[in-house]
Structure 1
């Protein structure tokens, strides 16, 4: 028996990749990533307090937002879970700079035109080295729906 009223069409579906995954606070490590105040951060310092009279050791985290560079802190019981962001780093070849956006090419040859020229020193360095005719590789970091060019290096000759 077919139900005519429930004919569903799914236009698109995600790959099922989540923006974050849970990890026990005591398993987090310096140099790793964590979500603090809904921002993806890199842990720069952490310390664990002794168990108190209520029985939970607390973990004090100091982390830097990977996109803004702001310092954030959080305290969490060591047995509780915290969200860890999925962070991806991809190196792209810089093809052009157009209207404040980087025209990039993936290693597979597809174009990517939605990454803004970063503000500040890195943006100026990318623009000046590109204008000087250098072949550049730009590292783009993406996490939790945001992405940003984070570093650059000169492409090896013959690549």
Structure 2
């Protein structure tokens, strides 16, 4: 048996799921954690310094997994959490009981990712049934994963 602390097969640096960034350093189309959810920033505005000397940043973000809208206000000098986001493309090889069968780079098959129950899920199913080969882009952040896009495979 090997010690789990010395098992380096995953290639993960053991990094935290988020990292801090000063609120004034955040940018539109970047990412931030709002109300505990990883969000893409769609709107930002900064108010002038008030009576107590802090400019405030008003953030509006869309949850990258659920597309729900979240808002928050934070002093520009304070730190906000920014989620670490990984995007991987996998070849789709099947759909079983609402789960995607994806071929990983190392040749293994992964069957634990749910078919999205939105327009993308319908598009994946339709293209798969039509016999199209495609890559599924999977976004993972803060312990969650979701298929977010598809690309046709070039031969």
1:12 Cα shift? 2.5
The separation in 1 between residues aligned to 2:2 and 2:76, in whole angstroms, is 41
TM-score, with length taken from structure 2: 0.91
C-alpha RMSD over aligned residues: 1.5
| 1:31-76 deviation line (CA, Å, top 9, x unaligned) | 0000001000000010101111101000000100000101100000
The separation in 2 between residues aligned to 1:19 and 1:10, in whole angstroms, is 25
Aligned equivalent of 1:5: none
**Which consecutive unaligned segments of at least 5 residues does structure 1 have?**
1-8
Aligned equivalent of 2:4: 12
The 5 Å alignment of 1:1-159 reads 11-13=3-5, 15-157=13-155
The separation in 2 between residues aligned to 1:10 and 1:79, in whole angstroms, is 45
1:90 Cα shift? 0.5
The SS at the match of 1:126 is helix
- Number of aligned residue pairs: give it: 149
The separation in 2 between residues aligned to 1:16 and 1:70, in whole angstroms, is 29
1:108 Cα shift? 3.2
The separation in 2 between residues aligned to 1:90 and 1:150, in whole angstroms, is 10
**Which consecutive unaligned segments of at least 5 residues does structure 2 have?**
6-11
1:17 Cα shift? 1.4
1:15 Cα shift? 3.8
TM-score, with length taken from structure 1: 0.89
